[in-house]
Amino acid sequence: MAQLRLALAQTNPTVGALEGNADVVLRVAREAAEAGAHVVGFPEMGLTGYPVEDLALRRSFVDASRAMLIDVARRLDEDGLGDLLVVLGFLDGAPDALPVLGTPKGAPQNAAGLLHGGRLVARYAKHHLPNYGVFDEYRYFVPGTSLTVARVRGVDVAVAICEDIWQEGGPVAEAREAHAGLLLVINGSPYERNKDDARLDLVRRRAAGAGCALAYVNMVGGQDELVFDGDSVVVAADGEVLARAPQFEEHLLVVDLDLPVGRTTAADEDSDVAAPDRTATTIHRVVVSDQPLPAYEPVSADIAPRLDDEAEVYAALVTALRDYARKNGFVTAVLGLSGGIDSALTAVIACDALGAQNVHGVSMPSSYSSDHSRSDAHDLAERTGLVFTTVPIAPVVDAFLRSVELTGLSEENLQARVRGTTLMGLSNEHGHLVLATGNKSELAVGYSTIYGDSVGGFAPLKDVPKTMVWALSRWRNADAESRGETAPIPVASITKEPSAELLPGQLDTDSLPDYHLLDDILDDYVEMDRGSSELLASGFDPAVVEKILRLVDRAEYKRRQYPPGPKISLKAFGRDRRLPITNAWREPAPDDVAP
């Protein structure tokens, strides 16, 4: 057996910020070297950020990525870090490749570069390209066909990238055929609820399949509608967790491993092997350092505790908003404070993400706004310390109605649109990021006013059902109280009946079923893609099913114009769920469903 000290760099890159990401790599690589690491792994596309989407098709960006990788290798060596093996995700490609129908322009590849001694000593290209959910990698990349194995301190380290271990066979089986002592997997795996449990189960299975220890390093941070939770982990071949990083935090995880000495000699050349039921795959071997290290005292590795369900979701929302604002140059945010639960939770998330002094809450009462809504909004502002102002909208609404005659729903929606215009005006004047406060349940059934409460640059609750809004609010208050702090959300905002307050005495339940029932139906229809017959078979009331499905189907055009917001569920509106706006298909009515 041979000892190897491994570092996993759970970093937060910004898409396109090559120089800034490179600086992070150099800084964290130095930290790894100072911790005595022999190998440090960075996330998938850690140099370019991830996902790069159509940037992968630009020759200029591919060239810049390749050049920056070589420059990083040089700078590492100049900084005295040349003995450290750095495994770094980057965008590779062959920009001069002849165009081939069905192949992305320039044959780009999602690749890992192995840097040592000032050089790129080897590379590996991702084999399995996901093309489901939020992923479109067949659009962007050409798959790799070889396995890279580096001999480091006498240990053979195989490299794979993210989806390569989510599929059976492939690099995992090839790592076993290559007798690797460690499989290092670099990842850009987006967060969704309970995915940390699924990942750990997967990593344990793949370690057993590869017959060796497996190290899984994942990025952290927000990128548009995706949020990455880190949760890097190292497991032994038998599935024992040896080290695990915290969730939603940048972190350098360092662990000492006792691994088998490589079976081949330094003189061995590349070879072709065939895993069971697969064609031959080239195994590319490179020797970084052939001799095992003298015995040394291992360090104690961290195994960070897991967050509970509400804490995990809340951390995802805060991380997503913080990075969306920071990476797009916003310092401050503005939102409407109605006194209701959605705006209250959004405001608290914003305060945690940006600092209360950078959050501007605006109460915009109309002639229908209740006294308790105004007082609840003011109470929340005092509890959190955000910047609070009041802009009555009744005079503006009245002036508009004197010029344009509107009645009924049109008049109701005018109030929301005046509020949206007010927030956008403040955004233009002061440079605030406008936060939309709608939740997934409302967005699903179209209960948002287009160009009204749907305006904004980011929507933190876009993928959060109404019932979870309440759960997160109660959790956030309890969490504050457990630390001896003031609960940030007024109890009245949590307990009162939801209402848009666009008419006297109006309640959401006037036109919608109870939110627990609504969210149950929406979970089946939106996330699980179950049709009307399956919903009826589950025992839902036929009239309710027909109404809710009709509302969901008719609201697609509204959802398409809603701001981006963080994905936390199996299927979020946007990248996950893509339905045509012009769409005449409707689920069969209950009377048409066969018994």
Convert 311-325 into a string of H (helix), E (strand) and C (coil): HHHHHHHHHHHHHHH
The pLDDT value recorded for residue 277 is 42
| 171-202 pLDDT, tens digit each | 999 999 999 999 999 999 999 998 878 899 99
- Domain presence at residue 296: no
Residue 105 appears among annotated catalytic residues: no
| 297-316 pLDDT, tens digit each | 999 999 999 999 999 999 99
- Quote the domain boundaries for residue 437: 309-592
> What residues contact 9, with CB distance under 8 A and at least 6 apart?
25, 28, 29, 32, 40, 41, 42, 43, 46, 217, 252
Record the tokens describing residue 473, joined without a space: 């609010």
CA distance readout (Å), 469 to 23, 139, 375, 438: 38, 36, 21, 10
Is the same domain home to 329 and 273? no
- Domain presence at residue 295: no
The dihedral through the CA atoms of 427, 433, 437, 440 has a sign that is positive
Residue appearing with tokens 């990238």: 161
Residue appearing with tokens 């139906």: 521
Q: Which of 19, 31, 44, 527 is catalytic?
A: 44
Q: State how far the Cα of 115 lies from the Cα of 87, in Å rounded to an integer.
A: 6
Is the same domain home to 407 and 282? no
Is the same domain home to 431 and 495? yes
Is the same domain home to 399 and 480? yes
- Domain presence at residue 491: yes
Is the same domain home to 10 and 128? yes
Task: Judge whether residue 372 has pLDDT over 80.
Answer: no
Residue 44 appears among annotated catalytic residues: yes
Task: Judge whether residue 276 has pLDDT over 60.
Answer: no
Amino acid at 309: D
Residue 180 near residue 157, CB atoms below 8 Å = yes
Q: State how far the Cα of 214 lies from the Cα of 228, in Å rounded to an integer.
A: 20
Q: State how far the Cα of 376 lies from the Cα of 342, in Å rounded to an integer.
A: 12
Task: Judge whether residue 274 has pLDDT over 50.
Answer: no
Other CB atoms within a 10 A radius of the CB of residue 195 amount to: 17
Is the same domain home to 273 and 398? no
Is the same domain home to 227 and 369? no
Q: Which of 162, 163, 440, 546 is catalytic?
A: 162
pLDDT-above-70 percentage for the chain? 93
Domain boundary among 235, 255, 287: 287
Q: State how far the Cα of 286 lies from the Cα of 526, in Å rounded to an integer.
A: 48
Query: Mean of the pLDDT values across residues 399-412?
Result: 91
Confidence band for 374, pLDDT divided at 50, 70 and 90: confident
Angle between helices 408-430 and 394-403 (to 10 degrees): 120
- Domain presence at residue 294: no
Is the same domain home to 394 and 487? yes
- Domain presence at residue 195: yes
- Domain presence at residue 490: yes
Three-state SS for 108? coil
Least confident window among 5-14, 344-353, 365-374, 566-575:
365-374
Is the same domain home to 277 and 386? no
Task: Judge whether residue 220 has pLDDT over 50.
Answer: yes
- Domain presence at residue 24: yes
Is the same domain home to 352 and 386? yes
- For residue 463, the domain's CATH number is 3.40.50.620
- Domain presence at residue 272: yes
Structural domain total, the chain: 2
Is the same domain home to 33 and 162? yes
Q: State how far the Cα of 119 lies from the Cα of 83, in Å rounded to an integer.
A: 11
Query: Mean of the pLDDT values across residues 138-155?
Result: 94
Q: Which of 78, 105, 126, 412 is catalytic?
A: 126
Q: Which stretch of DSSP H or E encloses residue 181? A: none
Confidence band for 101, pLDDT divided at 50, 70 and 90: confident
Domain boundary among 225, 252, 287: 287
The mean pLDDT of the chain is 91
Is the same domain home to 353 and 238? no
Three-state SS for 154? coil
Q: State how far the Cα of 247 lies from the Cα of 23, in Å rounded to an integer.
A: 23
Domain boundary among 256, 287, 318: 287
Short-list 385, 375, 360, 389, CA closest to 490: 375
- For residue 83, the domain's CATH number is 3.60.110.10
> What residues contact 228, with CB distance under 8 A and at least 6 apart?
12, 43, 188, 189, 190, 191, 218, 219, 220, 221, 222
